[in-house]
């Protein structure tokens, strides 16, 4: 699925300015625990999280997460956006809950990033 299709499904709005809309996304990670993200996230994946601090951006950078979706209308600080842009990690906001977003993406055929872990 392309990033564009994913963002349409989650009714997301871009919070950063450079969006590679046609990038392929193969997996989803959903967690507020950055250690879990570091454990399971894969390249070509999107991260759903309720955490909106700079550690989310660092985690995405370390684990090669392709894009970040902040759930339930969480507003990141300007510093978070600045770092996201500097590190080339597109960030979106979605008004929906984690459960709702996971259901939408799963129903659309997306796989969890932890699908073949362990």
Partner 1 sequence: MPPIPEFGRVQELIYELQIKQVMSREVATVTPDQSISDLKNLLRVKRISGAPVVENGKLVGIISVEDLIRALSKGEMAASIRDRMTTSLITVNEESTLIEAVRKFAQLGVGRLPVVNDRHELVGIVTGGDINRALLEALGLRYEAEEKHHIVHKNLFEEISSDETSIRLKYAIASKDFGNGGKASSRMKRALETIGVPPEVRRRAAIVSYEAEMNLIIHTTRGGELSVCVSPERLQICTTDAGPGIPDIDKALRPGWSTAPHWICELGFGAGMGLVNMKRCADEMKLESTPDVGTRLEVVIYPQLHT
Binding site for partner 1 (CB under 8 A): 13-14, 17-20, 32-39, 43, 49, 51, 53-56, 58-59, 61-64, 85, 87-88
**Neighbour count for residue 78 (Cβ, 10 Å):** 7
Determine contact, residues 46/3, Cβ cutoff 8 Å: yes
User: Which C-beta is closer to partner 1: that of 59 or that of 94?
Assistant: 59
How far apart are CB 26 and partner 1 at their closest, in Å?
Answer: 15
C-alpha to C-alpha distance for 93 and 50, rounded to whole angstroms: 10
Token pair 């699925």: residue? 1
User: Which C-beta is closer to partner 1: that of 14 or that of 112?
Assistant: 14
């Amino acid at each position: 699925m392309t990033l564009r299709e994913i963002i349409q499904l989650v009714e997301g709005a871009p919070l950063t300015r450079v969006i590679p809309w046609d990038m392929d996304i193969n997996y989803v990670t959903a967690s507020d625990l950055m250690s879990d993200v570091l454990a399971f996230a894969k390249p070509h994946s999107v991260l759903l999280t309720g955490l909106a601090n700079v550690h989310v951006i660092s985690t995405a950078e370390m684990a090669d997460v392709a894009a970040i979706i902040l759930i339930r209308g969480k507003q990141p600080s300007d510093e978070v956006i600045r770092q996201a842009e500097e590190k080339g990690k597109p960030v979106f906001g979605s008004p929906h809950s984690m459960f709702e977003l996971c259901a939408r993406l799963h129903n659309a055929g997306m796989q969890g990033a932890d699908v073949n872990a362990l």
